[in-house]
Structure 1
């Protein structure tokens, strides 16, 4: 038989076990936006004989050894996948988080993605409202507008986005926002539906000293649009943060990097995320575990890859005279505090 082409090659499962030197007890990984069920399902599809047969095996085998401390899992399908309850209930006690999740903190948000806005119904909303009462639920989303694909008609997207925002504001929940090529309408609807200084009360899991008046509550997930749009949102909403995924490392995307460069390093209003199973950060391929597989792509992204995005962000920031230098660990520490402020995790 002829030599297998690189396009057909698949990296061995061992390549997913990655540890970044920046990860430590003071700079753990906090992934503020991931799709864990989809990530595990894609892994099982790509590696049907893989060693991880349950989502808990998957997390204990890949996430915990990589230094993942907390994840915010995103459920955004319509109708609502009832699998969310199994995941969330399994993280209710310290014992179950230790035994099943390897000590990793599991939290979730729920909403309906703009791709599926046409499927939003009263019954779907009722299911989401039920999930909002769960102790591991920390926000509503992802929701928003996507004019790149237009999988749902734009007027429907706008109506459903506004409806979900009203529900979330009424419940005092943090907001996880998806926006793509819809700058004007996203900005208009957010300003119309969300109070400028809308803040959330700290979840009961937080210590009593956590000040409710300083809890930012808007997360613009996986930002890739115009830097000027990001700046307008940051200027208008003092409690808004920009989500940074591995897409910032791609040569085809310069807007996200410019958005970060435009921020004052002393007020770096970002949170780190993967949007796994999508968008493997490009610098991952320089990791020693992948050195012998040059040119072959990983089929699945996971939360353990966050530090490579953090390192890329650090390289964008100016080194200030007399101040601590920027590196992946410092970016992760700042983003970790921001995640605590946004979601209370």
Structure 2
């Protein structure tokens, strides 16, 4: 008889999602500027049908609040629009509801249609989004844009729907949440044609060329680059280079970290999470978490901090190079400082 080659699968304990990071504090709380909360909770319930958290509010109070999550920007980007958005948004209207249901966490949302579903964009979908834009917890339009990696919708339709959504959002003076993947030229062309230079723009989960990012940063002074856990992946170097380039003397505002932190949960667990001692235990060693959540933001922040300039002693800097060195006398970049700066950027971007 042949060998039994069936793999044994380790059970991933639900407790592994209960994460805390020493950088989290009242001065450096977690602000997740792009997450899909409904999808994250649904992924959790699928993986753990008998799990501890029975409602999305239980889920947030059990995992997000203890981890130090202060605010999230939830993203609704399906066509047709999911009616569930209203339940979430209405449940966060008052301080009392946010305390009782959300554990005090701030809930905000944006809405648009993802380029994957551009082919399903209709007048009725647009009307539903415009209605949502008037909700007090709505802080932007998106995610929308172009995705030439998967091409789930034909490119001409993607461009048409992207343009149409931008015009609506600009007319309503709503901040923009942009998805762009392998579509640098068309994304840049359409943004520059349709969006005022001073409009607020969040390029979500940036993974494209650093040169593309720099052109956008040069053109739009209120544009921020969204950083997810994908920056920690060995297969992705462009995002790290994009962040480093923000500190070059040639940058439009050198030494300014024009990023916001996000998870895009339930996707892209930051790899430094697996450096925690709990993942070295024999019973879980080698396992990978089946979903991400907002409490994992600090591990992305720590990775970003390691990319940034380190202070140099004065005597180690050649004469005349102090300005370009950019680190003399500056506070050391660590996860807490990155989170603090990103938190201020989130406030500037979305008002949260």
1: CA distance, partners of 2:86 / 2:113: 16
Kindly provide the CA deviation profile for residues 35-68 of structure 1, in whole angstroms up to 9, marking residues without a partner as x: 0000000000001110000000000000000000
1:285 equivalent to 2:274? Answer yes
2: CA distance, partners of 1:232 / 1:147: 20
Structure 2 contact 279–286 (Cα < 8 Å) conserved: no
2: CA distance, partners of 1:164 / 1:31: 23
1:216-227 correspondence to structure 2 within 5 Å: 217-227=200-210
DSSP 3-state at the match of 2:190: helix
Which residue of the partner structure matches residue 246 of structure 1?
229
2: CA distance, partners of 1:337 / 1:166: 27
2: CA distance, partners of 1:262 / 1:139: 27
Structure 2 length-normalised TM: 0.91
1:169 equivalent to 2:177? Answer no
DSSP 3-state at the match of 2:255: helix
1: CA distance, partners of 2:289 / 2:280: 13
Kindly provide the CA deviation profile for residues 153-192 of structure 1, in whole angstroms up to 9, marking residues without a partner as x: 0000000000000000000000000000000000000000
2: CA distance, partners of 1:65 / 1:109: 24
- Gap runs ≥5 in structure 2: 248-253, 311-326
1: CA distance, partners of 2:344 / 2:80: 33
Which residue of the partner structure matches residue 319 of structure 2?
none
1: CA distance, partners of 2:329 / 2:232: 28
Which residue of the partner structure matches residue 328 of structure 2?
321
DSSP 3-state at the match of 1:266: coil
Which residue of the partner structure matches residue 56 of structure 1?
57
DSSP 3-state at the match of 1:177: strand
Instruction: State which of 231, 239, 243 in structure 2 corresponds to 1:256.
Output: 239
DSSP 3-state at the match of 1:197: coil
**Number of equivalent positions:** 326
DSSP 3-state at the match of 2:197: coil
Which residue of the partner structure matches residue 322 of structure 2?
none
Judge which range, 286-295 or 140-149, deviates more. Answer: 286-295
DSSP 3-state at the match of 1:267: coil
2: CA distance, partners of 1:143 / 1:26: 32
The structure number with the bigger radius of gyration is 2
1: CA distance, partners of 2:11 / 2:192: 46
Judge which range, 168-177 or 261-270, deviates more. Answer: 261-270
Kindly provide the CA deviation profile for residues 221-258 of structure 1, in whole angstroms up to 9, marking residues without a partner as x: 00000000000000000110000000000000000000
2: CA distance, partners of 1:43 / 1:153: 32
RMSD: 1.3
